[in-house]
Amino acid sequence: MELQFLGTGAGMPSKERNTTAIMMKLLDERGTMWLFDCGEATQHRILHTSLKPRKIEKIFITHLHGDHIFGLPGLLGSRSFLGGTEPLTIYGPRGIKEWVETTIRISGTHLTYPLFIEEMDEAGIVFEDEQFTVYAAWLEHVVPCLGYRIEQKELPGALLIEKAYELGVPKGPLLGALKNGADVTLADGRVVHAKDVVTSPKAGFIVTILGDTKYCDQAIQLAKNATIVVHEATFDDTTAQLAAQYGHATNMEAAHVAKHAEAKYLILTHISARFLPAQSEALAKQARTVFEHTSVAHDYISYALISDNDIVIKD
């Protein structure tokens, strides 16, 4: 899994930061990608990456402010031009369906793929299959706004193939059966137990992506024990009064969310244009006094999860 930030600014685009969009690349896990929010010109940002819009399987919208949705119509249309035929599902607050369908209808946009739109009125599970569960909860902003928690389900243990060979298991389907947790009987009548040649199941990752929000308990609950928490940091401690007034959070409040949630890693985004690029490290340094493993995202940066949920940053 890899998170690539396509827009990390707040409110309106700047030369350094576009409006909000985060791509979750699940190419190894399911061969697709999930997009979280789609600010204006998101597809322009995609042009500067190796991302393929036709690979986008799901789009999760946090709220209906323009800096989080104005890129949707163009991206949906371009996905058709780029050969997208697989279904696409959009999740979001009530109103997203009317907005998308009206825009597509009035503009005469033709889609070459099935488009489904799921609106949410209540917190809870919004998607689940054999690999993932996605939860949503309402945050505290000036309009209804969602945060999402993506839980990867437990991964099967690894087959200790050399040990299996030592026990006399031949190459072929018996190895696959053991990998799937089934005991097998060899030609000589001996039974090889899966538990003896397969490691224990491994916990999957948890990623929490929060929309615009004040500091709130709902954010902490969504972030509980998360591998990565993505939290807005529109303001800093010196502008905390403005943060509260406009339904946003400071870098320090985001750090307290990660700390109370006992998360592993915090990424700050949705940075106000009042902060110049050179000030990003200062924002991160301040937050690290509360939560050590904090970084500030910039456009195009990627955070990749590798073995044992370690994180590699790709600038």
Looking at residue 91, its amino acid is Y
The span from the CA of 93 to the CA of 81, in Å, is 27
Residue type, 115: L
68 marked as binding residue: yes
Alpha helices (H) along the chain:
42-46, 66-69, 72-81, 96-107, 161-166, 173-179, 194-197, 217-222, 240-245, 251-261, 280-288
67, 129, 188, 315: which one is catalytic? Answer: 67
Q: Flag whether 248 is marked binding.
A: no
Q: How many whole angstroms separate alpha carbon 231 and alpha carbon 140?
A: 13
CB of 15 within 8 A of CB of 309?
no
Q: Is 260 annotated as a binding residue?
A: no
Q: Cα–Cα distance between 234 and 236 in angstroms, integer?
A: 7
Exposed (0-12), middle (13-18) or buried (19+): which is 152, by Cβ within 10 Å? buried
Q: How many helices (H) and strands (E) does the chain have?
A: 11, 17
Going by C-alpha positions, the residue among 94, 146, 103, 144 that lies closest to residue 125 is 146
Neighbours of 9 (CB within 10 A): 24
Confirm whether residue 28 is marked as ligand binding. no
Spatial separation of the C-alpha atoms in residues 86 and 143, rounded to whole Å? 32
Whether 231 has a binding-site annotation, put simply, is no
Q: CA-to-CA distance for 70 and 213, rounded, in angstroms?
A: 19
193 is in an annotated binding site: no
Q: Are strands 206-210 and 228-232 parallel, antiparallel or unpaired?
A: parallel
Q: Is residue 196 annotated as part of the catalytic site, yes or no?
A: no
Residue 64 burial (CB count, 10 A):
16
Q: Is 44 annotated as a binding residue?
A: no
Binding site members for Zn(2+)? 63, 65, 67-68, 141, 212, 270
**Catalytic positions, written as ranges:** 67
Binding site members? 63, 65, 67-68, 141, 212, 270
